[in-house]
Structures are given as C-alpha cells and as structure tokens.
Amino acid sequence: MTTLLVIAKEPRPGRVKTRLTPPFTPAEAAALAEAALVDTLCTVAATPAERRVLVLDGNPGPWLPPGFDLVPQCAGRLDERLAAAFAGCDGPALLIGMDTPQVTPDLLTVDFAGYDACFGAAEDGGFWALGLASPDPGLLRGVPMSTPATGAVQRDRLVAAGLRVRDLPRLRDVDTAADAQAVSASAPHGRFTAELARLQAVAGR
C-alpha cells in the first residue's frame, strides 16, 4: 500500500490563489482554495492507502478530515519542500497538490507494478502528481519550480535516474479564473464547483 501525500497552503486570504484576483477578491480566492483542498482531501480519504499525510504550510482548520497525519512544511524553495515530504516516507508514496480538485480515487490508486515512478503532467507545464516506489528526495532537489518547463525537467530527472515511468493523465491546475471554469466543468459535483457557482451568483458574474 502507498502513502498519499497532499502538499498545501492554509487557505487564508492573500496567501493562496493570488492569480484568481481579479476577478475574485482575496477572500473569495481563499474560499475557492479551501473548496479545492476539501475536494482533494476527500478524494484522498476515499483512496486505498496505508497512510495519508497533509504536508501543510500554515495551520489546519475544520476542513481537515480525520485519518490524516499532519506534517508542517519545511522552510526553503518548493523543490526542497517537496523533497522533504518524500524524505518522511519509508515506502512507496504518491504526492499531489491542492490545485486539482477534479482528481478521483481511480487516478490516485497506483501499485507500482512494472514501474518505479508515476508522473502526472499539468497543462501549465508543471506537474500535479509524482509517485515514487522508493522515495529519493534527491530526485526533486534542484528542479526549477513554477516554470513552463518544470514538468519536463522533473520527468527527465526520473528517466535519467533509470526509473521506469508511468504517465498519468494530464490535468489542469486551478491558477486563474479560466482554469477555475474549466476544472469546474470537469468536476461538476464537487465542493469546488459549488463554491464557484455560489461566488458567481453573488457577484452576478
């Protein structure tokens, strides 16, 4: 069985989803971030796993369901924080972020049979998922994050290490208002979609 890791920020106004403003206010962007995080955590809770871990920058809130270990993010760049998350695992692990509320348990159910790593590319050039049968933090350290080439560099790093890589479906992160609309259309029944619809109705958008 696999450890499932979710790396996330506490959904506080002004600290999360700043590219959603405008058209959304910082408080509305934080509400959307919280909804995305809730959907993600619910999906992880419904996925078979030996251990579920929230690697959090900030403090937990009532949105955190039972059954998760809470681990604070370390200081440093994102590659260092991702590496540290894997360093805390002693067996197969799959890490995702809070930006893809459309994920499903099927997407997150990996067994590493016949492969050493799984990789989920994101449409913006990053990646939404990284799984390692034998977690090695060194595979992430030094990868440039938040660039259009991040995903390609990270996948190349896995291949260069001699790992057999299974590619997961490409997904769209929620970064902009256009992303929010597209992700909502692909996951019409989640809390994220309901919150987006509520905010649009209130604002007459």
The answer to whether the beta carbons of residues 28 and 20 sit under 8 Å apart is: yes
Question: Does an H or E element contain 162, and which?
Answer: none
pLDDT score recorded for residue 202: 82
**Residues forming a β-bridge with 132:** 93, 117
Task: Report CA-CA distances (Å) from 143 to 34, 152, 159, 191, 200.
Answer: 27, 10, 14, 33, 37
**Which pLDDT score is estimated for 152?**
97
Query: pLDDT per residue over 53-91, tens digit each?
Result: 999 999 999 999 999 999 999 999 999 999 999 999 999
The whole-number pLDDT of residue 106 equals: 96
Asked if 118 and 107 count as a contact pair (C-beta separation under 8 A), the reply is: no
Contact by Cβ (8 Å): 171, 127: no
Which residues face 52 on adjacent strands?
A: 4
Measure CA of the first residue to CA of the last residue in the chain; give whole Å.
44
Instruction: Report, as ranges of residue numbers, the positions in the chain whose pLDDT lies below 70.
Output: 1, 204-205
- 189: DSSP letter: T
pLDDT at 205: 60
